Amino acid sequence: MDWTALRVSLWLGAGTIAILLPFGIWFGRLLAIHQFRGKVFVEALVTVPLVLPPTVLGFYLLVMFGARSPLGQAFQSLVGQTLPFSFEGLLLASAIANIPFVVQPIQRGFEAIPSDVRDAAACCGLTPWQRFARIEVPLAWPGILTAAILTFAHTLGEFGVVLMVGGNLPGETRTLSVAIYDRMQAFDDRSAGVMAATLLVIAVATLMLTTTLSRRVGVRRG
């Protein structure tokens, strides 16, 4: 069992949620509430990481992060290290790969709020921020929770993007799923089996958590 890899995986999952959730709530709500020209295109763009092979996504992210790209250069001059093959680069790649898993459930969550209910909140004298915090977020909560859990579970399981962008550096970019592959290459079936079982248990546990929580929300709401 590679405990360092497990730690990297868990940090990556938590970090991805921390980065992506605020963005997902802002962007998902925007897509749910506002009508604008080119919305269909934006929605398609958001979904692209879902259907693209992870290696293709990883390839483009690598190009984007490279020392010759503006992003790569900016990061290097700011932090003093390169984005590819670092935990920071992996985190950013993971955040981009998980956009559809965050935006879509949150968008559905906000779409489920009748526009009359939002209007009624305004007529009750609530400011836009109060409406958001006291009416919209509590009502979109199941969608936000689903987004967080899906992102976490998906990050733990991500393989192609991690290998392309992060490589296989112990303690830095070697996640549990990469470690399993690594152990299998070395004919260490026992370690691979233990780690695979660990991921399986985490996956089942998170899904059970989602179901329980969303059921509780359902009971509260009717």
Partner 1 sequence: MCDVADRRLSVRIQQRSPIPLDLDFTCDPGDVLAIFGASGSGKSTILRSIAGLYRPEHATIRADGETWSDTASKAFAPPHRRAVGMVFQEYALFPHLTALGNVMTALGHRPSTERRSRAEDLLRLVHLSDHQDRRPHQLSGGERQRVALARALAREPAVLLLDEPFAAVDRMVRRRLQDEIDELRRTLDIPLVLVTHDFDDVVRLATRLLILERGKAIASGALSDLTSRPDMPWLRDAVGLGSVFDARVVRRDPERGLLELTFGGGTLIASNRVLDAGTVVRVRIAARDVILATSEPDGLSLHNVLPGTVTALNADPAFDHIVVQIAVGEVLLLAEVTRDAIARLDLTSGKRLYALIKSVSIGVIPDFRSI
138 is a site residue for partner 1 (CB under 8 A): yes
The interface with partner 1 within residues 145-174 (CB under 8 A) comprises none
**Cα-Cα-Cα-Cα dihedral of 194, 199, 205, 210, to 10°?**
180
Q: Is 205 exposed, middle or buried (0-12, 13-18, 19+ CB in 10 A)?
A: exposed
139 is a site residue for partner 1 (CB under 8 A): yes
Closest contact distance (angstroms) between CB of 121 and partner 1 is 7
221 is a site residue for partner 1 (CB under 8 A): yes
215 is a site residue for partner 1 (CB under 8 A): no
117 is a site residue for partner 1 (CB under 8 A): yes
* One residue of 44, 79, 81, 119 binding partner 1 per CB under 8 A: 119
Closest contact distance (angstroms) between CB of 31 and partner 1 is 21
76 is a site residue for partner 1 (CB under 8 A): no
- How far apart CA 82 and CA 73 sit, in angstroms, is 8
133 is a site residue for partner 1 (CB under 8 A): no
- How far apart CA 186 and CA 112 sit, in angstroms, is 50
Closest contact distance (angstroms) between CB of 220 and partner 1 is 7
- Those residues whose C-beta lies under 8 Å from the C-beta of residue 62, and which sit 6 or more positions away, are 84, 164, 165
123 is a site residue for partner 1 (CB under 8 A): yes
117-121, Cβ contacts within 8 angstroms, sequence gap of 24 or more: 118/33
121 is a site residue for partner 1 (CB under 8 A): yes
125 is a site residue for partner 1 (CB under 8 A): yes
How would you label 61-83 residue by residue, b for 16+ Cβ within 10 Å and e otherwise? bbebbeeeeeebeebeeeeeebb
Backbone angles phi, psi at 175, to 5 degrees: -90, 175
Closest CA to 62 of 163, 178, 158: 163
Q: Judged by CB under 8 A, which stretch of 55-63, 73-81, 93-101, 113-121 contacts partner 1? A: 113-121
Q: Judged by CB under 8 A, which stretch of 45-53, 99-107, 131-139, 162-170 contacts partner 1? A: 131-139
Q: Letter for the amino acid at 221? A: R
Closest contact distance (angstroms) between CB of 91 and partner 1 is 34
Q: Which helix (H) or strand (E) holds 121?
A: helix 115-123
| Footprint on this chain of partner 1 (rule: CB under 8 A) | 114, 116-117, 119-128, 130, 134-135, 138-139, 220-222
